[in-house]
Amino acid sequence: MSRTRLLRTTSFRLATIYLALFTASALALSAFVYLSIRHEILADFDERIVEETDALQTAFAKGGRERLEQILEARGEGGGGFSYGLEGPGGTLLSGELRAPAGGAGGWMEAREAEDDEAPEAKPEIVRALATRLSDGSILVVGDEQRRSNEILRGVLSAFGWAVAATLALGTIGGLWLSAQFLSRIDSMRLTARRLMAGDWSRRIPLSPVDDDLTALARTFNRLFDRIEKLLIANKQVSADIAHDLRKPLASMLRRLEAARDGDASPASVSAAIEAAIAEIEGVLETFNALLRIGQVEAGARRAAFRPLNLAEVAREVVEAFQPAAEEEGKTLVARLDAPLPMSGDKELVVQMIANLLDNALRHTPPGAGIEVAGKRTQGGISLTVVDDGPGVAPDELKAIFQRFYRAEAARTPAGTGLGLSLVAAIAELHGLECAASDNCPGLRVTLTTADEEE
């Protein structure tokens, strides 16, 4: 998996956007917190300076300048974090090292420690200081090195920096990880698709245990592949069947014509061979026409020509057309089609569907058999059954009768393309009808019912 692909994934792009937003908000939050802390710390510092100044002023009030100088001396050695300066009225530094501002005004200031004689190069420390004019005209300066507050703030700042950096790092790693996860699942889909394209139609996308949208997508694809595989197998089967079905008449044609060529060549035998060959060719053409018709119906292009029609009326017309033929064969053909059966369809095809069912019933029943075409309205729509009391179809073959080129083992009918009921099934499906065969005990029952609406 190449790096650029990882960076180009949808999940990584999303992760990056989220990361940017999150980092921005983390930065904003840090800035706010930093500024608040800084404000608090500085206020705290100022308060400490004011308190110290107050304490020193109290000492001054009690013990005068000497006392103050003593205290300053002691503090200067002991530390406590403050630095001091006491300037006499003439501007001389009496104690400490902080100089008062020029002009002798009191108040807050940025003071600078007096230069250290021993290390003149050292940069003087800047301190925040409060200058107070005492009653004897001298000025007391109390300062605190800002170093400490700066150190604290620097600490806070670096903590925030690390946090943002960690966020960025974690987010990037997380984004890459998510993308890798996503990519690996996409890759498994791509790999499966490639295998399928290479001809391995049994392949399916492995489903992740997490039932998310990608899994749902994979499941949908797998169903699609199931359908394609089924169609491919059916297609292969049909090609094989066509080849098989054509070989027989072609071989027999060849045999007859060769026999006619090599035989006595009497006009009678030659014309008999020609007649037989024509009959075989007509049979082959009939097979092709039936296949083409099934193909067209299955392609579904005819739906545009659908009109409302009454299936009962159409069925009655077809039954009427078949009546004399049935009677001639000594069979009873009955129509029970009193209720109107409204549907939307292509009349020409519906007529052919019913005619094929009757053809089938008449062909596979002995003289004396009874055939009934009955219609009724069901909860979900309509239903039409064609029933005979002939020998029927073996239970394990019932499902197969709608397949192309299927001819029942028991059926010894000579001609027939084996496509009549396939066309019935194709037309039924085009019209949203479910086609089922069952045992009529005895005989065959074919039922066409309005199929349930697909989910």
Partner 1 sequence: MKILVVEDDEETADFIATGLEARGHEVTVAKDGREGFERATADRFDVVILDRMLPQLDGLGVVALMRAEGVSTPVLFLTNLSGIDDRVDGLEAGGDDYLVKPFAFEELMARLSALARRPTLGSSPTVLKAGDLEMDLVARTVRRGGEDIDLQPREFRLLEFLLRSEGRIVTRKMLLEQVWEFHFDPKTNIVETHISRLRTKIDRGREVSLIQTVRGAGYTLRVPNPAA
DSSP-assigned letters across all residues of 22-52: HHHHHHHHHHHHHHHHHHHHHHHHHHHHHHH
449 binds partner 1 (CB under 8 A): no
Window 287-306: contact mask with partner 1 (x via CB under 8 A): --x--xx--x----xx--x-
Q: Which of residues 399-438 bind partner 1 (CB under 8 A)?
A: 415-416, 420
Cα-trace Rg, the chain: 51
Q: Which of residues 204-263 bind partner 1 (CB under 8 A)?
A: none
Kindly state the smallest distance separating residue 296's Cβ from partner 1, in Å: 6
Q: Are strands 139-145 and 126-133 parallel, antiparallel or unpaired?
A: antiparallel
Among the listed residues 299, 295, 307, 290, the one whose alpha carbon sits nearest the alpha carbon of residue 421 = 290
Q: Which is nearer to partner 1, 328 or 455 (CB)?
A: 328
Q: Which of residues 334-363 bind partner 1 (CB under 8 A)?
A: 346, 348-349, 351-352, 355-356, 358-359, 362-363
Alpha-carbon span 236 to 314, nearest angstrom:
36
Q: Which is nearer to partner 1, 356 or 450 (CB)?
A: 356
Is the four-CA dihedral 197, 202, 203, 208 of positive or negative sign? positive
166 binds partner 1 (CB under 8 A): no
Place of tokens 């004011």: 50
Structure-block tokens of residue 90: 């003439």
Among the listed residues 243, 298, 331, the one whose alpha carbon sits nearest the alpha carbon of residue 430 = 298
Q: Which is nearer to partner 1, 232 or 285 (CB)?
A: 285
Kindly state the smallest distance separating residue 401's Cβ from partner 1, in Å: 16
Kindly state the smallest distance separating residue 322's Cβ from partner 1, in Å: 6
Among the listed residues 394, 395, 387, 402, the one whose alpha carbon sits nearest the alpha carbon of residue 440 = 387
285 binds partner 1 (CB under 8 A): yes
Q: Which is nearer to partner 1, 218 or 358 (CB)?
A: 358
Kindly state the smallest distance separating residue 303's Cβ from partner 1, in Å: 11
Q: Which is nearer to partner 1, 67 or 293 (CB)?
A: 293
Alpha-carbon span 292 to 423, nearest angstrom:
10
Count of residues that bind partner 1 according to CB under 8 A: 31
Structure-block tokens of residue 392: 């029927």
Q: Which is nearer to partner 1, 302 or 376 (CB)?
A: 302
Q: ∠50-53-58 over CA atoms, to 5°?
A: 125
Window 133-152: contact mask with partner 1 (x via CB under 8 A): --------------------
DSSP bridge partners of 438: 445
Spatial neighbors of 275 by CB under 8 A, at least 6 apart, are none
Kindly state the smallest distance separating residue 18's Cβ from partner 1, in Å: 55
- Could you tell me how far CA 29 lies from the centroid of its own chain? 36
Kindly state the smallest distance separating residue 193's Cβ from partner 1, in Å: 34
Q: Which residues bind partner 1 (CB under 8 A)?
A: 285-286, 289, 292-293, 296, 301-302, 305, 317, 320-322, 324-325, 327-328, 346, 348-349, 351-352, 355-356, 358-359, 362-363, 415-416, 420
